[in-house]
Structure 1
Amino acid sequence: MRLILLGPPGAGKGTQAQRLVTRYGIVQLSTGDMLRAAVAAGTPVGLQAKAVMESGGLVSDEIVVGIIRDRIAEPDAAKGFILDGFPRTVKQAEALDTMLAEQKLKLDAVIELKVDQNALVGRIIKRADEAKAAGQPVRKDDDPDVFKTRLEAYNRDTAAVTPFYAAKGQLTVIDGMQPIEAVAAAMDKVLGG
């Protein structure tokens, strides 16, 4: 099973991905984690990435797709994978499609968790206020200003990926504002589990 989870920060992708990993025996692939691992392992693509990162540049889509190609060839990804944090742009989605076709693979599902972004911001503000009131530190991701910046970046860049997959007939939209269990049940129905 190969799938992509889409949706803005705070939509519940991480929560659902963890559940799918356990239920289906697949791996969750984070491009950031894969990039760091490839650099640490000194793979050819990792060495390219390291050179770019050390010069302060952004790693190209070609390098990231190369890292994904290498990672999905590893034994633990044989049953499938969930891409987390990729693709972030239509160009990346196109590059991913090309790479998967070259590997004679295809995506089984692209699922978007659709959420009310204003409600998400409210939820983050409430969580930050509760942490402060309890004398606990506010997680960086729960800082309302940081969260709003991440949301703006998603709307500017990544939201365009959704219509790309919709146009190909690959997108399934699930109401991410439902309780966690209801979102999980809807995802299982899409995935045939």
Structure 2
Amino acid sequence: MPDSPAAQPLAPKPTDLEIKDASLIFSSVWQELEANFGRSELRFPKEIILLGGAPGAGKGTNTDFIKKTRMLTCAPIVVSALLDSPEARALKNAGNMVGDREVVNLILRALLKPEYRDGVILDGFPRTKVQVECLKLLVDKMQALRREFYSTPLGIHFRQPTIHIMVLFVDEREAVARQLKRGRETRVHNEEVARTGIGEPLEDRPTDHDEALARRRYRVFKEQTWDALQSLRETFHYHFINAQGPVEEVEQNILRELEYQSTLELDPRTVDRLRGIPVASELIVHARQELVKRLDGYAFEHAELFARVVAFIEKKIIPIVLRHAISGVAQINAEEAVLDDPLALAILIDVFSERGYHAVVDIHRIEVPEQVDLKTGQIRCRTKKVYRIQIRFQGSEIRRG
């Protein structure tokens, strides 16, 4: 009986030659950018929303809503679309990710496009700790460029950067269920497109049809991307969005997280200049109490004027308002002498506010000729003041049909 063939030695495991040093990766990419574009043309977006999340968390579903909330008009930069080479597709289909240098290089070049200058959503970055460090290095460079060009004519192109990290999160069970559901819906859609020739086919991911691959994709996210995103909590504006519920609930969560905060987004010089003007939300906190205090003050300290203004409202304004109950808008022109007192106008506005109306008063001055000097032709005029009062309130809804 012939001897069994000798056992073949195991082939050596290929060495991972990809550079894992973030500073080396970033420096290499940055040097290429400077060589290709020049420092003065490295103009990155004012606002970058880094949208990350578990597979199936709804990044694509919620992107348009986030754009609308932040008033962004450009399409998002989707990392998976940037990395659309055959090699990248093979890695993604297996639930893996592509190399960090390729990702960073493509993203930085995309961010330099003019359409993204005011702001952009970046979907799917960062996903690794190396990419996180490259992001920090990018923001450092953006700040350095801003300082460099701050007092030059180019300063307007290097504004205070605002970086948001937005993480949509669902648990593994929900993530897998959503991926498989998306796979079923994609196949139905693509079959309909193939049958009718109408519409465009959607990307059909192998991970959306295999539960094991879907679970692996989620676990890759948890093991690699989740920790990377969490590490940015202390560095940038971090928004954790519970995406487990229905779309409407997720949208409300996003709204609460992205409320405008001027001190975080404006240049410090702008903030200092605006500091003396109260914020509307702060102004209205005690508005009702202040209104009550003013009205009581009018009644006790300016009783006669208060009575005259109230009488004017009852006799001259309310009859006109009643005739506009359907539209909810009444315009009144008045020349009453009582309104010549500035305090009377304040009383009028406050009285209507207390009654649930919105009152606006505009003083219109008209020059009325009174006398003509026949020798010089000079015309002497008197100033006639007309108080234009607009009253708005909730009108009546009339059923039609």
TM-score by length of 2: 0.38
The C-alpha deviation readout for 1:10-66, integer Å capped at 9, x for no partner, is 001111113334552143112243345xx9xxxxxxxxxx9x98xx9x864234323
Deviation, 1:103, is 2.5
Distance in 1, matches of 2:79 and 2:184, equals 31
- Other structure's SS at 2:227 match: helix
1:1-150 mapped onto 2 (5 Å cutoff): 1-21=47-67, 23-36=71-84, 60-104=99-143, 106-125=161-180, 139-140=204-205, 141-143=207-209, 144-150=211-217
From 228, 236, 239, the counterpart of 1:172: 239
Larger helix fraction of residues: 1
**Coordinate RMSD, CA, aligned:** 3.4
TM-score by length of 1: 0.72
Residue 14 of structure 1 aligns with an amino acid whose one-letter code is G
Relative contact order, CA 8 A, sep 6+: which one is greater?
1
Residue 129 of structure 2 aligns with an amino acid whose one-letter code is V
- 1:132/1:98 CA distance change after superposition, 3 Å: closer
- Other structure's SS at 1:6 match: strand
Q: Which has the larger radius of gyration?
A: 2
- Other structure's SS at 1:79 match: coil
1:42 corresponds to: none
Distance in 2, matches of 1:33 and 1:4, equals 15
My pick for the range that moved more, 121-130 or 68-77, is 121-130
Distance in 1, matches of 2:222 and 2:228, equals 10
Distance in 1, matches of 2:227 and 2:251, equals 25
How many aligned residue pairs are there? 174
- Other structure's SS at 1:165 match: coil
Residue 51 of structure 2 aligns with an amino acid whose one-letter code is L
Contact 1:20 1:26 survives alignment (8 Å):
no
Residue 8 of structure 1 aligns with an amino acid whose one-letter code is A
- 1:25/1:188 CA distance change after superposition, 3 Å: farther
- 1:26/1:12 CA distance change after superposition, 3 Å: same
Distance in 1, matches of 2:79 and 2:187, equals 32
Deviation, 1:100, is 2.7
- Other structure's SS at 2:233 match: helix
Deviation, 1:128, is 5.9
Deviation, 1:8, is 0.7
Residue 66 of structure 2 aligns with an amino acid whose one-letter code is L
- Other structure's SS at 2:76 match: strand
Contact 2:165 2:239 survives alignment (8 Å):
yes
2:224 corresponds to: 157
Residue 119 of structure 1 aligns with an amino acid whose one-letter code is E
- Other structure's SS at 1:113 match: strand
Residue 172 of structure 2 aligns with an amino acid whose one-letter code is Q
1:47 corresponds to: none
Distance in 2, matches of 1:63 and 1:121, equals 28
The C-alpha deviation readout for 1:167-190, integer Å capped at 9, x for no partner, is 336322111012212212322332
Contact 2:132 2:229 survives alignment (8 Å):
no
- Other structure's SS at 2:126 match: coil
The C-alpha deviation readout for 1:92-138, integer Å capped at 9, x for no partner, is 011012123213364431111121222332444566678899xx79x
My pick for the range that moved more, 62-71 or 172-181, is 62-71
Contact 2:166 2:240 survives alignment (8 Å):
yes
Structure 1 unmatched ranges of 5 or more: 40-49
The C-alpha deviation readout for 1:135-169, integer Å capped at 9, x for no partner, is x79x5342123311211211221111132112336
Residue 113 of structure 1 aligns with an amino acid whose one-letter code is L
